[in-house]
Amino acid sequence: MHSSMTITLLVTLMVFLIPPATSTSRHSLDHRRPDAKTGFEVTLKHVDSGGNFTKLELLQRRMKRGRKRMERLYAMALAASDPSVSAPIHPGNGEFLMDISIGTPPASYSAILDTGSDLIWTQCKPCKQCFSSPNPIFDPKKSSSFANLPCSSDLCAALPLSSCGSASACEYLYTYGDYSSTQGVMATETFTFGKVSVPKVGFGCGLDNEGGGFNQGGGLVGLGRGPLSLVSQLDEPKFSYCLTSIDSTKTSTLLMGSLANLDATKETIMTTPLIKNPSSPSFYYLSLQGISVGETKLPIKKSAFEIKGDGSGGMIIDSGTTITYLEESAFDLVKKEFTKQVQLAVDESNETGLDLCFKVPSGAENVEVPKLVFHFEGADLDLPGENYIIGDPSGVACLAMGGSSGMSIFGNVQQQNMLVVHDLVKEAISFVPKQCDDL
């Protein structure tokens, strides 16, 4: 049993919005200086920010994207171990956009941030097929720092599908589970993040880009564990993000490289090891060992969160999935215990799209909720109430979690107001409580 006493969290009922929404060893490019320390900060903007949506509409939009993303992430994990499964790469759409500049002189773009994939790419001229986007199409001829990557390069070898084009230039094809794809040439270029320029970043110059899911930005920045990702190409392969409260209008923050270092003397740090799934080496898998609701440690079977031989199972942490999804048998126990401990009637209308909602009496200003603890290996993460209870003015308070089949995901609602540090050298994830509005 979990030893701590049940606590009461007072959650003021307002409209809580979901946020403005192989080896993991470092893979350095041959031309990078091993002693170089690159660190920079990037502002993250949610893809729905600035849209003319009601708060309930925002919630419904993000839930819909999150469910599709979960299904395709699972399809990718299975595809990696079974070639007959037709979903080699998970979808590109995520929840956050980051502003970057590419080339010399720098041209500004907005790109989708994705912690679940590796390739960095943008649309390039001469474009055979390009999707509509508010961003311009990058023109390599206008940049003095653009250079094609040869077929002999390590990054070319790391691609799932590549070929050798004219002048031994590396050509790539990246296909997504929803029939979206990007195809073009691999190159190196100077990427600028704020005031910091990083030379010779390997990326895909997309000449044939089809399908949906990318039109919020001009391309995608992969931050997965594989060698093609931006974090793996840095001399210090580490990054962290701090996502603001779900009801905040402020932007979130991404820290890359040396700026993501922790100060252990000043912070309360909880660290858990990253584990490996050979079928999906790019995903950030965590070892979830149990869950407590109030003072009750739930009787979840150990096998519920284990990675299975076919590549399914396990739990990943993902910035692009809105709420946490738990394997169905585990979620049923969480749902049952919350229903038992929350002294409110269950709402069956299902208007929010969330699986468990409670009716809040008219005129009530607060709702009492039991605490929720995720027991990761080496880290008991005790979440604040606003990280798992979402209130709606229609008179309901909902649990921001859902059930899944085949894969569990620790979503971004549960990560808000925490600095979440991904360290590819130590192969660990750290959680540091923060007021992200103040960063």
Both tokens of 12, joined, read 């003021």
User: CA–CA distance from 301 to each of 294, 312, 333 (Å)?
Assistant: 19, 16, 11
Give dist(CA 255, CA 393) in Å, integer: 35
**CA geometry: angle 401, 405, 407, nearest 5 deg:** 80
d(C-alpha 397, C-alpha 393), whole Å: 9
290: helix, strand or coil: strand
Which residues are CB-neighbours of 112 under 8 A, at least 6 positions away? Answer: 47, 92, 93, 94, 96, 97, 214, 216, 217, 219, 220, 221
CA distances for 158 relative to 131, 304, 418, angstroms: 26, 32, 32
Q: Is 318 an active-site residue? A: yes
Contact 365, 13 (CB under 8 A): yes
What is the spatial distance between Cα 327 and Cα 300, in angstroms, rounded to a whole number?
Answer: 10
The number of beta carbons lying within 10 Å of the beta carbon of residue 41 is 15
Cross-strand partners of 97: 45, 112
From 114, 178, 247, 347, the catalytic residue: 114
Distance CA 20, CA 399 (A): 19
Greatest CA separation found in the chain?
72
Among the listed residues 48, 118, 318, 347, the single catalytic one is: 318
Give, as one character, the DSSP assignment of residue 306. P
Instruction: Find, among 118, 127, 97, the residue nearest to 109 by Cα.
Output: 97
Neighbours of 167 (CB within 10 A): 8
Q: DSSP per residue over 351-397, as a string? A: -SS-S-EEEPPTT--EEEE--EEEEETTEEEEE-GGGTEEEETTTEE
Task: Give the active site residues.
Answer: 114, 318
